[in-house]
Amino acid sequence: MAEKIKRRWKDRKDGRYIRTLDPYHKFPPFVMKTKNDACNNFRDSIEVTEIEQYIRKKRAEGFPGLGMLHLFTAAYIRVASRYPAINRFVSGQRVYARRNIELVMTIKSALTLDAPETSIKVVFDFTDTIDDVYRKINAEVEKVKSTEATSTDDVAAILCKIPRVPLKFVMWLINLLDYFGKLPGIIMEASPFHGSLIITDLGSIGLPAIYHHLYNFGNLPLFCSLGAKRRVYEVRQDGSVAECKYLDYTIVMDERVCDGFHFSQIYRYLNSIFRNPAMLDVPPSEIVPDVE
């Protein structure tokens, strides 16, 4: 669940200011002032034969349409429950621990060129399982299908009615309020640029994973892209040839949130989840809080 911590001086609505970071980790936001200054690009592939068997089993158990996007989201939540540094963000040259997990996705109402596009934001608890992920994502998608516009669309429509020169001032003011942690909640909740991560499943439309840039506006520290599955032939130790199926994924991350050792431990744990996805069926045994 979201952290139940009394809000203190320097805290934000969406995050707790981390006070115990050493100067070496407090100073980078003043050198790398924007996320695009601090982007690290990561690519990896996972063998998905056993994962596909797990997904087929879940679908048969009453989760039709459950796929790789649900699995990656549940894996992120599980990683964040053990390594909370992955769920930090930088805002106003300060590093914060996010109070919950917020997934941002861009969706289309239909797979046609002229179908409208919008963003949804799904809020998760650190104890959520893949079943919870499936239900929460599907619930938000159904809301979009049943209504003409989301809160993101409503805020964007209001802003677009402002002439461009005054709009530049409005955006400067919004950035200023965000810098000091005073952005109105209605804007933050509607903003697709504020959250834990943004994820896109390009494999669903047959495309490879891309390195998608981070947005300097807002505080999203991670962008994950899933690609189409591909088949390769590999030689086994006994000399036989086997067909294997892989899925490529990329992550673009803000390196200011934590150090390389953290990321290495996160990567190892993520791989252990992919090797045993059934662990996502139950809540984590322990929620590790971020440092003070």
Q: Is residue 261 part of a domain?
A: yes
Band of residue 139 on the pLDDT scale cut at 50, 70, 90? very high
Q: Is residue 7 part of a domain?
A: no
Band of residue 266 on the pLDDT scale cut at 50, 70, 90? very high
Instruction: Give the Cα separation of 230 and 246 in Å (integer).
Output: 5
Average pLDDT over residues 17-26: 93
pLDDT at 268: 96
Closest to 197 measured CA to CA, from 243, 266, 139, 135 = 266
pLDDT at 149: 66
Is pLDDT at 2 greater than 50 in this prediction?
no
- For 75-86, what is each residue's pLDDT tens digit? 999 999 999 999
pLDDT at 1: 45
Is pLDDT at 96 greater than 60 in this prediction?
yes
CATH number at residue 216: 3.30.559
Q: Is residue 192 part of a domain?
A: yes
Q: Is residue 90 part of a domain?
A: yes
Q: What is the mean pLDDT of the chain?
A: 91
pLDDT at 104: 95
Q: Is residue 200 part of a domain?
A: yes
- For 199-247, what is each residue's pLDDT tens digit? 999 998 899 999 999 999 999 999 999 999 999 988 888 888 888 999 9
pTM, entire model: 0.91
Average pLDDT over residues 176-196: 93
Q: How far is CA 178 from CA 14, 25, 100, 106, in A?
A: 11, 21, 18, 22
- For 105-126, what is each residue's pLDDT tens digit? 988 766 666 667 788 999 999 9
Query: Phi, psi (5° rounding) for residue 17?
Result: -65, 130
Q: Is residue 273 part of a domain?
A: yes
Q: Is residue 233 part of a domain?
A: no
User: How many Cα neighbours within 13 Å face the side chain of 41?
Assistant: 8
Instruction: Give the Cα separation of 89 and 14 in Å (integer).
Output: 10
**In the chain, how many domains are there?**
1
pLDDT at 191: 92
Q: Is residue 232 part of a domain?
A: no
* Residue numbers of the domain that contains 210: 47-105+124-223+257-282
- For 197-207, what is each residue's pLDDT tens digit? 999 999 988 99
Average pLDDT over residues 189-193: 91
